[in-house]
Structure formats: C-alpha cells, structure tokens
Amino acid sequence: MAFRLTRGRRLWDRIRPSVLGLAALGLCLGAFDMPAARAQNFNPFGWFQQVFRPQRNYDEYRPQRPHPHYTYHPHPVAKVQKAPAVPPSFFVAVLGDSLGELLGQALTTSLSDRPEVEVLHEAKEDSGLVRDDYYDWPKTAHDLATGSQKINVAVIMIGSNDHQTLHDSTGSYDPDSEQYDQIYAARIEAVAKAFHDAKIPLIWVGLPIMKSDRYSKAMTALNDMYRQYASQDGATYVDIWDDFVDDGGQFSPYGPDVDGQVVRLRALDGVHFTKAGALKLASFVAPQIRQILQGEAPQDDAALAKIETTAPSGTNLPAANAAVPPIKPAIGPVLPLTGPVMAAGGQLATLTPASGGANTASLVEQTFVDTRHPLLQAGRADDFDWPRHELAAAEPPPKPAPLPTLTAPAEAPPPASPAKNPAASPTSTVR
C-alpha cells in the first residue's frame, strides 16, 4: 500500500507543474478582452469545451426554382336537355309465379326504350293453378281484365309449383291422373277466357327445361296443356324449351345470352333464371308486345299522306282477312360452332363394309399379314421395277422414227488449167 501511494505521488509531482501552467495560461487568456458583463459568468475552461464540442452542419443554401402555376378549366359541356316525360299509355300486365316475377323484371329492362310502356307486376311468388286456396288465379285474371286499370297486353308464365297433388271439392288427385288434367285444363281456360272476353291479348309463355329429368317431364306435360287449351281462347303460346338446352337437347346452365356471349343462364337450383337468363327469356316475349304496340300506335299525318287511297288500275287488293305473316323471333336457333358433330338419331359411328368384298380382304391380308408385295400394274405411278420388263412385255415401245440422212453438198470440179503456148513461154528454147 505504501508503495502505491509513493508511486502516485511521484506521478502527480511530475505533471503538477504542467497542469498548473495550463490553468494559469487559461486565466490569463480569459482576463484579456473580457467585458465587464461577462466577468461574472466567466468559465476558465470554456475554450477547452469549445474545442471538443460537435460542429454544426450548415446546409448549403440552394435557391429553388419556382414551379409554374397551372390553372385547369374544364371543357365546356353542352347541357343535355332531357326529353319531356312521356306519361305511360300502354300497359303490360305480367302474371304468374316466381318465374313470372323474373320475366316481369326483364321485360321492364327490355322495353325501357319505349317510355310510353309500363309493365305492371302482378305475379305472385309460390302461387300456381293447383293451390287455388292459396291464390285463385282464375278470379284474379277476371278482376284484372274487368278492373279500372287499363291493360293492353297480358303476359302469364306459371306452372313451376303445380307438380303436386290437386285438392278439389270432389277429392285429391295426383298429377298423373285423368281428373287432375281435367281440372287443371278448366283453370287454364278460365284464365284465358277472362282476357279473351275483355278483348285483351294474352301471351302464355311456356316453361323451360329443368335440371331434374323427372321435373322436366312434368313441365313438358304442362306445356302441352298450355299450348292446347290456352290457344282455344285466342292466347298466343310462346315455346322457349329449345332455347335453354344444349346441342344435345339436355339441360345446361350455360348458354349464349342476348349478345351471343356464353354465360350462366340458369340459377343454382336448376329452375329459375339468372339476370342474363331472364333477359334472354324476355327477348322472346318482347317482340310480341312490340307488334301489338305498333299496331295500336296512331300514325301521324306524314305517314298517312304516304298511304295511297286508290289502288292503281290492274291491281287486286288483298282480302281484308288475309293471313298476317308470323313474327320473326329476335334470336334464331342457336347452333354451337365448337360442339362435336353428332350423327342423326345420336347413333355412334359404325364401320361401313368396304366395297370389294373378298378381293379387298385378300389384298389386305396379302399386304399386311403375308408381307407380300401386291401385283403392280405396269406403267402405274407406283411401279418402281427397273428395268421395266413387265412394261416391255405388256406393250412394246414404239419404234423410233428413222433419222433423216444428211447428204454433203457436191464439190465443184477444179478449174481447168490453161494450155501452154510454147511460143509465148519465155523459158522455151528453140532448137
């Protein structure tokens, strides 16, 4: 312990003069140029703290370029003058069950381009012609036809809830019984007769194919009754069965819509329609309504002026009760372009016996079983024999025509040498 104290004291004795000198120097520097106001708060170690304090970072000033100011003015848009509201003057009453409700909503959209047309939604969900205790459609049809509400066209689509036991005052009858058909047919006639007596056109829309085969069979029987008995009282029957089946005549939830795009047309329950399916359903009914609307629309003076009141000479006027051509549907039969080609009657392809009989069979056996080359016909395109012995034996080649003989031109005789004249010859000598 004494050794440690002695060593520390010696170290202090060595650095004490330096420390005291630095302190005195600081006092001297601080004494110079010190205002009187700062003398009271003088810190002798202030210079030491300033040396080791962190330096401030001064950002270089860079003047920013002013951004241009833009003012946007929208393009002038002409105010669209709304057409004056046209009060409805043509009323379409839609009756039926839940399918009739979907049809009424779709007809409202399909006929939206005709502001004078108003669709009256008179359908009742879960109703039908069987349960008259729940909703009596013959009575409702009579009340609508004779009521104060003007109705120009009536449309009905019903029957999806009628495949059940029919209860009457005489008893209960199953759908497949004869009494069921008689009572059901009488109720169809009662509905159709109510509008016929009021001189209101009635459009009876048939039922579509269903997902269940048993249910589809029952809907087919109801469609036959609608077609037969409703038409007797002047109703127009619209058959939509083939418009919601695939190329094989079976149920398909998908199909082309009114724009030709393949979309889902039927709901998940296999009974009702999607929005696209309901619009397609309405596309088969709307043309019937438009024809009636066009027939009742009054013509203006310009249209009447174009009508020729007197027939030209030599022409026969058509009879007043001439048959009116049927309405062309807005959508014709839909034929798939990518579906498989099916034979008539849905039969599978079968092997057709080849013409030739035993000769053809023997030729096939000779070629593919015995691996013998069939006898070739000489001169045919597949005759690769060389040299062509068979060809030479069958038909000898024609003899070549003799070549023309070329004869050389006759040489001209050499010219005769002139006779020698000895008198004229300079070399001749006379002896």
pLDDT tens track for 70-79: 777 777 777 7
pLDDT in tens, 410-427: 555 555 555 444 444 444
Whether 16 shows a pLDDT value over 50: the answer reads yes
Which run of H or E residues covers position 39?
helix 36-39
Helix (H) or strand (E) holding 190: helix 178-197
CA gap 81, 78 in Å, rounded:
9
Give the chain's mean pLDDT.
76
User: Residues 365-389: what's their mean pLDDT?
Assistant: 72
pTM: 0.55
243-285 confidence digits (pLDDT tens): 999 988 999 999 999 999 999 999 999 999 999 999 999 999 9
- Residue 227's nearest CA partner among 237, 213, 219, 217 is 237
Residue 313 confidence (pLDDT) above 60:
no
Band (33; pLDDT cuts 50, 70, 90):
low
Q: Which CATH number is 92-296 given? A: 3.40.50.1110
Rounded Cα distance between 424 and 122, Å, is 155
Structure tokens at 202: 């009635």
CB 207 within 8 A of CB 160: yes
* Rounded Cα distance, 284 and 218, in Å: 23
Backbone angles phi, psi at 93, to 5 degrees: -95, 125
Distance, CA of 251 to CA of 215 (rounded, Å) = 12
- What is the domain partition of the chain in residue ranges? 92-296
pLDDT at 157 over 50: yes
